[in-house]
Structure 1
Amino acid sequence: MSFSTLDYCVLMAYILIIISVGLWVSRNKGGKKKNASEYFIADKSLKWWVIGTSLIASNISAEQFIAMSGSGFAIGMGIASYEFMAALTLIIVAVFFLPIFLKKGIYTMPEFLEQRYDKRVKTVMAIFWLVVFIFVNLASILYLGALTIKNVLFEGQSLLISGVVVDPLWIGIIALGLLAASFAIFGGLKAVAVTDVVQVVFLIGGGLVTTFVALKALGQGNAFDGFISLTRDHKDHFDMILTQGKTMIADGKGGMKDAYIDLPGISVLIGGMWIANLYYWGCNQFIIQRALAAKSIGEAQKGLAFAGFLKLLLPLIVVIPGIVAFALNADISKPDEAYPWLLSNIVPTGIKGLAFAALVAAIIGSVAGMLNSISTIFTMDIYKGFINKTASQNNLVLTGRISAGVALIIAFPVAIMLQNLDQAFQFIQEFTGFVSPGALAIFLLGFFWKKASANGALLAALGTFIFSVLFKFLTPSLPFMDRMGIVFLLCVLVMVVTAYIEGAKPSEKAITITPDMFKTTTKFKISAALIVIILTVIYTIWW
């Protein structure tokens, strides 16, 4: 992609702004050092708009821009169900999950599991999350982000520096990691959350401009006309619920497969996608940590509702461009090249820099959020729980910073190794899908069923892997989402049977649920109703 001087200036302006804001927030005010509460949960001071934007910045990476635009090119708006259903999930999490977490006053998800079950469950899940966050999530964000930069900025070519051939992939991985670390490691969650506000401005602003320019090109100078012709001339690409056998896509192995296997019709609305979304938005330290840092339950709920509205907007940024590329008959060899093609062939000088800054912002926000979550779990659940139970506040903050740095160093070579996988993103999604059904069962029954036991939780944690692997190999034609739904039900059954074998007595650590815990403000109710109405309209029009 040909960058002009103006494009480079726009990109450099973004980098300077994000570093400046991050360092400014990271400073020790009045020479006072940060304590653990300030570093890990921002001293419970985050406002709703910071929480909402930070959730989106952590959630969206360059892979969403590239992969979802690619799916938009190949499948259409059906892939947007991930974003639309997440908006509704955020409302459910805000009402039924957050009050329980905030009442417990926890720093981490493993800490909640110890309070509800026992230290064994906490330790198993803490170790699991650390392994997944470092070796799967952090490494994959760095790799896929750097790969995007290599393909978009350097057109997949190596660099010749002082006579030495250098792979831009290495440069991208290290540069992204260090840029995120410059404020995430020293400033803690508040620095991550405040810089996320800037990230989202670039992410959404740059993304919307790219979509507008693409629609304008399709409409021969009028973006609105472009959108109308897109929906009129390519109706099949606006089917939200796929029909089995109707849409064939590349399988990544040189053949073709039915898109239904990834988006199994009505199951998207009532099946396994709920498992993935409720786990991701409600039980995942990487995401929920922002809400744990809220000033109050009301502020946290408003933040999640705000994030819900932003999720409704995201398909316009990450899916529509792919459909436009399809309508423009983009000359590409695979769907994931759709977004880079738009940047190279449609987006004008100056706007390219802004669009690319949106990509970088998405990557940096995710890397910074992941580093903070890793340091929080290691410090509060492993270090303080087993290594130094009487650690001082300064010691905890120092440990958090060191653990984040070590995690980044480990992730660098792992990220490079991911290039040996044929389908790194699909591998990551599949691995996470093995875990989410059991983890969600453990949390939900821990919330709402007093007889759920620690032994049952441990068996569910083991069972989610066993059941998922068995279904994958014994029923390969079963859609991924349907498999998650079935495995979730089996894990719930395991916990129920275990409880009854043990005598089905209410646990001493059971959570006392009262109706007033789930009360919400009028403004939140109105926001929730608006999200439901918007989703109903979208699915009614493009069913």
Structure 2
Amino acid sequence: MNSLNIADYLVFIVYFVIVASYGYWVYNKKKKAVTDTHDFFLAEGSLTWWAIGASMIASNISAEQFIGMSGDGFFVGTAVAAYEWIAALALIIIAIWFMPIYLKNKIMTMPQFLTNRYNSAVALIMAIFWLFLYVFVNLTSILYLGAVAINGLLGGEYLHTIMIFLSIVALIITLGGMKVIGYTDVIQVAVLIIGGLATTYMALSIVGEKLGMGASALAGFQALMKDSPEHFKMILEKPHAGSSNLDIQKYVVLPGIAMYFAGQWIVNLNYWGCNQ
């Protein structure tokens, strides 16, 4: 059974207390003041560029990436990064062509944009669709995967308790609007970067140690490059008649160069530019 020591528990407790307390403090502060949709969605225009950037990254990276995409990476390889490469290009397009339109017309949400462009019926359909998608797909999967990870560390007996706890913390943060989300996401990004680098370093060190090359992250990385070079191809080759069933399955998941020219553009432009 996996177990955590006192230091591990302290890290979790301090992290949740800081994030949740800040969210609750801003929520109470806002509750006493007159607020509107501009305040809630745009944080009164008070967010700095670095807070906005951090919020975008933190809102995007979650258990889906740390668990889901890591699993895809184990199965397919680094080619799974195609999703993020296209996202980077999509963000440039959105910043240059989408954002000026939103700012010029003072658009805060997509239902508002659809109301102005078409009518309220179209906006309502879109709002209901996204609401159901987020509640029953996005948020549910993120909370579940996060709970699975923490549950595995705690021994496998607290899944539902963890999901409830994570839901409460998420609710407290969200009630404060974008100002709370924006600045708490700065904390989230720092934790994600430090945690991601630490996890990568420890994993590679363990690989090196298990292969008798010493507890060295560099040795572990070199061992992976030598043993599984196919996992470091950014574009998968199209299967041929002699390809294995495994190669065909990988190509079905990530269809080579087509990933960079097909539907991923629609997904990323929608996700980053039309998602509120």
Please classify the TM superposition score into its range, dividing by the shorter chain length.
0.7 to 0.9
Structure 1 counterpart of 2:101, one-letter code? I
Q: TM-score with structure 2 length normalisation?
A: 0.88
Task: Give the 5 Å matches for 1:95-114.
Answer: 95-114=96-115
Name the SS for the 1:137 alignment partner: helix
Distance 2:37 2:126 in 1: 22
The structure with higher relative contact order (CA 8 Å, sep 6+) is 2
**Amino acid across the alignment from 1:174:** I
State the partner residue of 2:234.
240
Q: Does 1:203 align with 2:192?
A: yes
Which of 175, 179, 193 in structure 1 is aligned with 2:169? 179
Q: After alignment, is 34-43 or 267-276 more displaced?
A: 34-43
For residue 211 of structure 2, what is the aligned residue in structure 1? none
**Counterpart for residue 220 of structure 2:** 226
Query: Is the contact between residue 111 and residue 124 of structure 2 (CA under 8 Å) also seen in structure 1?
Result: yes
Report the Cα distance in structure 2 between the residues aligned to 1:54 and 1:28, rounded to whole angstroms.
21
- For residues 318-352 of structure 1, give each alpha carbon's deviation from its aligned partner in whole angstroms, at most 9, with x where no partner exists: xxxxxxxxxxxxxxxxxxxxxxxxxxxxxxxxxxx
How high is the sequence identity, in percent, across the aligned residues? 48
Match status 1:51 vs 2:52: yes
1:84 corresponds to: 85
Distance 2:20 2:217 in 1: 34
**Equivalent position SS for 1:19:** helix
- Partner residue, 1:67: 68
Aligned to 1:153: 153
CA shift for structure 1 position 122: 1.6
The whole-number CA distance in structure 2 between the counterparts of 1:260 and 1:108 is 37
Check the 8 A contact 1:267/1:273 in 2, yes or no. no
Q: Is the 8 A contact 2:67 2:145 kept in 1?
A: no
Aligned to 1:503: none
Counterpart CA distance in 2 for 1:49 and 1:30 is 26
How far does the alpha carbon of each residue in 1:362-399 deviate from its partner, in whole angstroms, 9 at most, with x for none?
A: xxxxxxxxxxxxxxxxxxxxxxxxxxxxxxxxxxxxxx
Q: CA deviation at 1:247?
A: 6.6
Question: 1:330-341 residue pairs with structure 2 within 5 A?
Answer: none
What is the CA–CA distance in structure 1 between the aligned matches of 2:244 and 2:197, rounded to whole Å? 28
Work out the CA distance in 1 between the residues paired with 2:62 and 2:154. Answer: 19
Structure 2: runs of 5 or more not aligned: 209-213
Aligned-pair distance for 1:94?
0.9
Structure 2 distance, partners of 1:230, 1:180, is: 37
Match of 1:283 in 2: 274
Residues 71 and 231 from structure 1, CA distance in 2 versus in 1: closer, same or farther, beyond 3 angstroms?
A: same
Counterpart of 2:43 in structure 1 is 42
| Distance (Å, rounded) in 2 between the aligned partners of 1:30 and 1:18 | 18
Q: Does 1:265 align with 2:256?
A: yes
Match of 1:116 in 2: 117
Give the superposed CA RMSD.
Answer: 2.2
Cα 1:25–1:228 change in 2 (3 A) is farther
Residue number among 137, 149, 170 corresponding to 2:160 in the alignment: 170
Q: How does 1:6-21 map onto structure 2 within 5 Å?
A: 6-21=7-22
Q: What residue number does 1:190 align with?
A: 179
How far 1:27 sits from its partner (Å)? Answer: 4.2
Give 1:195 shift.
0.7
Closer, same or farther in 2 for the Cα pair 1:272/1:218, shift >3 Å?
Answer: same
- State the match for 2:143 in structure 1: 142
Cα distance in 2 for partners of 1:67, 1:32 equals 41
Amino acid across the alignment from 2:251 = Y
Kindly indicate whether the alpha-carbon contact (under 8 Å) linking 1:215 and 1:223 is maintained by their aligned counterparts in 2: yes
Q: Which protein is bigger by CA-based radius of gyration?
A: 1
> Which residue in the other structure is 1:390 paired with?
none
Residue type of the alignment partner of 1:223: A
State the one-letter code of the partner of 1:206: G
- 5+ residue gaps, structure 1: 159-167, 250-255, 286-543
- Tell me if the contact between 2:42 and 2:179 (Cα under 8 Å) persists in the aligned partners: yes
CA distance in 1, matches of 2:6, 2:36: 44
How far has the Cα of 1:31 moved from its partner? 5.4
Aligned equivalents of 2:31, 2:118: Cα separation in 1: 42
Superposed displacement of residue 95, structure 1: 0.9
Cα contact 1:22–1:194 (8 A) shared by 2: no
The answer to whether the 8 A contact 2:94-2:269 is kept is: yes
One-letter amino acid of the structure 2 residue matched with residue 202 of structure 1:
V
CA distance in 1, matches of 2:45, 2:66: 32
**Rounded Cα–Cα distance in structure 2 between residues aligned with 1:46 and 1:205:** 23
Give TM-score, length-normalised by structure 1.
Answer: 0.46
